[in-house]
Structure 1
């Protein structure tokens, strides 16, 4: 991924205090959504008769599992700060989390204005155009999620025929297919991503064996495997 560095004058404007305030307002919406979703999950579990201890285990599992992706996003955010400014990097990666997509949108916005992204001609107007392009680029899937995500569960049940085992296999296969497709091109080329995939898979197999003997580690197994894959890619690539 090619990275450009903005001029100090443009970066100063991109990192203005007012921009940080606006970014914080948007990020706070994400934080509030997470809190409301957690409260809703706990209240729904109570209505279904699930024990609170199981909910706490699920919460801790998700928390530990999120450590790997958060570290990766944080590292990418540090690099993006020199390209589009700190506030916008924080905002975009908090609601989207895909640095290559965001950088591509920024580059397309600059080129639409007739300016090469990161060149000496990349002025304040070009930066604003890049920001707008990034925002418009993210509207599509956010609208789809808001309008149609509640219908996916009924669609999944129709496809699965109401069989819980088949539904579980269907959901697992779909997730493997999606992530396999997203990583296929990079894995074929080799390098760090291939090492991360192989090391993560092997560590997951090891963790399955370990958790059979130490069940308390089961909720941390996925997070540990992700971290092993990440650090293996850094060390051996």
Structure 2
């Protein structure tokens, strides 16, 4: 890959744009946290519970962040540091971003990060990554405020039924995401590919880790808010050891 490509990708102008957008996202996050605490005060929700939830979310984010960081290192060597930092800060789906960058290069007829990967290919990868995320942002902007109405209609106003519907939706989402990893790991093992069973090992390790942490949390109540984050780390550790 020509040196001029990385020089353009890591130029100060791109860094300034990336920093500005990431700062906006950070400010939005802080405003959202402040709004959550204000709303909790209005409805009489204990502030210490809000702090516990915030701390649990931060700890649970450690596991996914490690996977994002690993992909980020690889992407930085091709599409540059600022655009990688920017995309993974506002989207966070590392495999999707890497796939979009690769598809963009292939659409131009060059190999991602190859010797013929020039500035035009870099721009194509950037555009593909941006367009790939546009659909999610549009759906979020146009339909998020309608989801609560849909949930209320499905639940019929019954709090217990609403809780069941919400729980089922979450189980469906996480189950779908896990099924992809499980099938990818199974196919990798079946094909005898090196490290192919990693996703399957991670899913099984995470499941066993979650069962273990929930069991321990029954006696060690302070452990409850850390269970998800620790279980994800256990899953990743199992995958690394077995692969």
Give the distance between the partners of 2:181 and 2:57, measured in 1 at CA.
26
Give structure 1 stretches of 5+ with no counterpart. Answer: 1-5
State the match for 2:200 in structure 1: 194
SS at match of 2:44: coil
**Shift of residue 59, structure 1, vs aligned partner:** 1.0
Answering whether residue 144 of structure 2 is matched by residue 149 of structure 1, we say: yes
Q: Which residue of 6, 11, 27 corresponds with 1:11?
A: 6
In the comparison of the two structures, how many residue pairs are matched? 232
Mark the CA change 1:32 to 1:136 in structure 2 (over 3 Å): closer, same or farther. Answer: same
Give structure 2 stretches of 5+ with no counterpart. Answer: 187-196
Per-residue CA shift, 1:67-107, capped at 9, x if unaligned?
A: 11112111211111112111111111111112222222223
State the match for 1:94 in structure 2: 89
Mark the CA change 1:185 to 1:53 in structure 2 (over 3 Å): closer, same or farther. Answer: closer
State the match for 1:3 in structure 2: none
1:53-202 maps to which residues of 2 (within 5 A)? Answer: 53-188=48-183, 189-190=185-186, 191-202=197-208
Answer whether contact 2:4 2:119 (CA < 8 A) is retained: no
**Shift of residue 144, structure 1, vs aligned partner:** 1.0
Per-residue CA shift, 1:136-181, capped at 9, x if unaligned?
A: 1111111111121111111111111222222222222222222222
Greater alpha carbon shift after TM alignment, 186-195 vs 84-93: 186-195
**Shift of residue 110, structure 1, vs aligned partner:** 2.5
Q: Which residue of 227, 231, 237 corresponds with 1:231?
A: 237
Answering whether residue 43 of structure 2 is matched by residue 37 of structure 1, we say: no
What TM-score results when the alignment is normalised by the length of structure 1? 0.92
Give the distance between the partners of 1:50 and 1:182, measured in 2 at CA.
32
RMSD: 1.6
Mark the CA change 1:82 to 1:200 in structure 2 (over 3 Å): closer, same or farther. Answer: same
Mark the CA change 1:43 to 1:228 in structure 2 (over 3 Å): closer, same or farther. Answer: same
Give the distance between the partners of 1:112 and 1:209, measured in 2 at CA.
50
Give the distance between the partners of 2:221 and 2:177, measured in 1 at CA.
32
SS at match of 2:218: helix
Mark the CA change 1:206 to 1:116 in structure 2 (over 3 Å): closer, same or farther. Answer: closer
Answer whether contact 2:71 2:95 (CA < 8 A) is retained: no
What TM-score results when the alignment is normalised by the length of structure 2? 0.89
